C-alpha cells in the first residue's frame, strides 16, 4: 500500500498504518542506500564500530525491521554545515537546488537541501495534517507572528507558509512584522486584525513562536485591552525567550484565553521536526500527531540502535519516506516519549502515533558517533568525493 494510492486518513487501522509506513520507508531506504555513497559508507562504518549491524534493503522485510535502518544524529547535519560540506549528503541523481536552514540564533545554521518533488510530497502531507487536525479551512486567514516570508529561510516559517498557502491562498496570509521583530506587537496585531476582519469569510488563525504570543499578551494586559480572535493560536518553535528563561505554558494559555479570546482547546502547540521539514501539530487533546508516513521511535541515549520500552523516555527519532534529496533518518538531540503508540488510537479517534518533547539531551551526540563522522569525512576526502 502506498500513501498515494490510498486516500490519506487518520481513521485507518493500526495494521493499515504500519503497512503504509513500511512501504514508504522501505522504498525510500532502498533509494538512498543505492544512490547515496556517504550514507552507505556511514552504515558500513557504524557496523564496523559495533554500533548496530550492517543493514541492507534486503534485510527490511517487515514493519519491525524498520527499526534496524541506521539513523543519522542531528549533529551530523550540523557538523557538515559547519565545515561547508553539507552537499555531501545529497543523494545521487536528485536535483536538490533549494535549501532551508534551522532557526538557530547562534553559531552556524544547518542547511538542508531539497528537490521539488520531495517538497511537494512533504507539503501534501503537511496540508492534509493541517486540515484534518487543526481544521484550517479554505476561507480562513492566517497571521504569522513573524517577519515576512522573503526575510526568512528558516524551515519553521518557510514550511508553515508553504502549507497554509496551499489551504487559504497567498492573499489570506499576513505577517505581523514588516521587516524584523519590532516593538508593540499587540498594536500591530490589533491593526492587522481590524484590516482583515471584513475581508475574511472564515476564521482568523495565529501562527508563530511562543515568545511573541507572550509579548502580545503581556502588552494587552498592561493596557487592559483585548483582541478577539476566532481561530486557533498555533505555536511552534522553542519555549525559551530571547532573554530570560522558559515561558510558563499554563500562564501563557490563560493569557491567550483572557486577552485574545482563544480557549485552551484551540491553542495548539506543534513539534517542529526540523531535520525532516515537517511538524507534529496537536489535536484537541493536546496530543502531537506524527505525520502518517513518518516512522517515529524513541531510542536509548546510550545505545541509539535500540528503541526503549514503550512509554519510556529517550531520544526522539524520525524517518521520512518523503525526502529523496538526503537520507532523512534522524536521531535528534531531544529527549521525548511516545504518548500514543503506532498500535493505538488517540482519544480524538485518530490512529497513532503521538509524541511529546521533554527536554534537550545532555551531551552532544550518541556514543561513538563523533568517531564515525570523523572517519567518514577522512574517507570521503581520500576518495575525493
Binding site for Zn ion (CB under 5 A): 283, 285, 287, 346, 348
Residue with cell 537546488: 97
CB of 288 to Zn ion, least distance (A): 9
Nearer of residues 283 and 369 to Zn ion, judged by Cβ: 283
CB of 146 to Zn ion, least distance (A): 27
In whole angstroms, what is the distance from residue 327 CA to residue 69 CA? 11
In total, the chain counts a number of residues equal to 385
Nearer of residues 88 and 348 to Zn ion, judged by Cβ: 348
Contact 32, 72 (CB under 8 A): no
Nearer of residues 220 and 346 to Zn ion, judged by Cβ: 346
Nearer of residues 67 and 285 to Zn ion, judged by Cβ: 285
CB of 384 to Zn ion, least distance (A): 50
Of residues 182, 110, 184, the one with CA closest to residue 148 = 182
Nearer of residues 68 and 131 to Zn ion, judged by Cβ: 131
Nearer of residues 239 and 285 to Zn ion, judged by Cβ: 285
Nearer of residues 12 and 176 to Zn ion, judged by Cβ: 12
CB of 311 to Zn ion, least distance (A): 17
CB of 345 to Zn ion, least distance (A): 8
| Rounded (5°) CA angle 74-95-272 | 30
Nearer of residues 276 and 354 to Zn ion, judged by Cβ: 354
CB of 287 to Zn ion, least distance (A): 4
Q: What is the 3-state secondary structure (H, E, C) of the chain?
A: CCCCCCCCCCCCCHHHHHHHHHHHHHHHHHHHHHHCHHHHHHHHHHHHCCCCCCCCHHHCCCHHHHHHCCCEEHHHHHHHHHCCCHHHHCCCCCCCCEEEECCCCCCCCCEEEECHHHHHHHHHHHHHHHHHHHCCCCCCEEEECCCCHHHCCEHHHHHHHHHHHHHHCHHHEEECCCCCCCCCHHHHHHHHHHHHHCCCCCCEEEEECHHHHHHHHHHHHHHCCCCCCCCCEEEECCCECCCCCECCHHHHHHHHHHHHCCCHHHEEEEEEEHHHCEEEEECCCCCEECCCCCEEEEEECCEEEEECCCCCCEEEEEECCCCCCCCCEEEEEEEEEEEECCCCECCCCCECCEEEEEEECCCCCCCCHHHHHHHHHHHHHHCCC
Nearer of residues 177 and 285 to Zn ion, judged by Cβ: 285
CB of 133 to Zn ion, least distance (A): 7
CB of 136 to Zn ion, least distance (A): 16
Copy the grid coordinates of residue 49.
564500530
Contact 91, 325 (CB under 8 A): yes
CB of 257 to Zn ion, least distance (A): 21
Nearer of residues 86 and 132 to Zn ion, judged by Cβ: 132
CB of 234 to Zn ion, least distance (A): 15
Amino acid at each position: 500500500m502506498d500513501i498515494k494510492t490510498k486516500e490519506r486518513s487518520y481513521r485507518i487501522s493500526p495494521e493499515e498504518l504500519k503497512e503504509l509506513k513500511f512501504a514508504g520507508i522501505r522504498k525510500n531506504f532502498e533509494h538512498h542506500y543505492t544512490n547515496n555513497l556517504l550514507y552507505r559508507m556511514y552504515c558500513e562504518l557504524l557496523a564496523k564500530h559495533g554500533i548496530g549491524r550492517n543493514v541492507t534493503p534486503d534485510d527490511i522485510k517487515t514493519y519491525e525491521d524498520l527499526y534496524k535502518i541506521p539513523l543519522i544524529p542531528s549533529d551530523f547535519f550540523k557538523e557538515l554545515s559547519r565545515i561547508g560540506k553539507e552537499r555531501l549528503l545529497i543523494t545521487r541523481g536528485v536535483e536538490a537546488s533549494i535549501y532551508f536552514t534551522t532557526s538557530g540564533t547562534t553559531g552556524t545554521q544547518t542547511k538542508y537541501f531539497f528537490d521539488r518533488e520531495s517538497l511537494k510530497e512533504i507539503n501534501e502531507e503537511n496540508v492534509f495534517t493541517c486540515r484534518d487536525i487543526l481544521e484550517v479551512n479554505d476561507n480562513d486567514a492566517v497571521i504569522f507572528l513573524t517577519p515576512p516570508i522573503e526575510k526568512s529561510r528558516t524551515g519553521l516559517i518557510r514550511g508553515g507558509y508553504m502549507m497554509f498557502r496551499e489551504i487559504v491562498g497567498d492573499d489570506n496570509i499576513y505577517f505581523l512584522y514588516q521587516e524584523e521583530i519590532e516593538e508593540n506587537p499587540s498594536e500591530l496585531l490589533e491593526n492587522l486584525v481590524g484590516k482583515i476582519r471584513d475581508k475574511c469569510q472564515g476564521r482568523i488563525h495565529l501562527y508563530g513562536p511562543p515568545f511573541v504570543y507572550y509579548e502580545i499578551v503581556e502588552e494587552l494586559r498592561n493596557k487592559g485591552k483585548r483582541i478577539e480572535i476566532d481561530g486557533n493560536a498555533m505555536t511552534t518553535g522553542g519555549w525559551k525567550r530571547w532573554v530570560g528563561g522558559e515561558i510558563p505554558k499554563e500562564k501563557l494559555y490563560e493569557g491567550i484565553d483572557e486577552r485574545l479570546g482563544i480557549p485552551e482547546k484551540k491553542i495548539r502547540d506543534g513539534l517542529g521536526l526540523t531535520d525532516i521539514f515537517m511538524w507534529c501539530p496537536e489535536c484537541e487533546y493536546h496530543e502531537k500527531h506524527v505525520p502518517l508516513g513518518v516512522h517515529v521511535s524513541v531510542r536509548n541515549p546510550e545505545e541509539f540502535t535500540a528503541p526503549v520500552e514503550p512509554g519510556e523516555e529517550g531520544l526522539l527519532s524520525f524517518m521520512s519516506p518523503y525526502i529523496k534529496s538526503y537520507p532523512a533518518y534522524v536521531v535528534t538531540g531531544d529527549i521525548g516519549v511516545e504518548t500514543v503508540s503506532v498500535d493505538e488510537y488517540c482519544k480524538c479517534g485518530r490512529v497513532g502515533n503521538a509524541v511529546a518533547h521533554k527536554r534537550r539531551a545532555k551531551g552532544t551526540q550518541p556514543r561513538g558517533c563523533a568517531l564515525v563522522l570523523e572517519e567518514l569525512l577522512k574517507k570521503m576526502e581520500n576518495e575525493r568525493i
